[in-house]
Amino acid sequence: MTDNQKERVQNEPEKQEPLSGYKLGRCLMTLGISERELGRRLGRSQTNIRKIMDGRAELTQAESDWLRKVTDFMRANPPPRQKALFVPPKQKKQP
């Protein structure tokens, strides 16, 4: 094996297993999208995405890799918040 081939093998990302249904659900929560929206983006039906989440079907390796990349990006770069989502009302002072 030449030095160039060794370098290419070292730089190739490790192949991971396709996402499980549980991990797919976690990705959807992180991304804030529905099963229907993921199906639209991947060219699959919502029913097919539900089957993947139930363990009756699998994502392709390319789909799993893409979802991991997008989810990792969103975790590293969360959207800015303008203010707190809930501000409790001020309590009145009692005499």
20 pLDDT higher than 80: yes
Average pLDDT over every residue of 23-47 = 95
Give CATH for domain 16-75: 1.10.260
38-95, pLDDT tens digit by residue?
999 999 999 999 999 999 999 999 999 999 999 999 999 988 877 766 777 777 776 6
Diameter of the chain by CA atoms?
85
Confidence of residue 15 (pLDDT cuts 50, 70, 90): confident
> Where do the domains of the chain lie?
16-75
Burial of 55 per CB tally in 10 Å (0-12, 13-18, 19+): exposed
For residue 44 the two structure tokens come to 């699959």
Please report which confidence band the pLDDT of residue 25 belongs to, taking 50, 70 and 90 as the band edges. very high
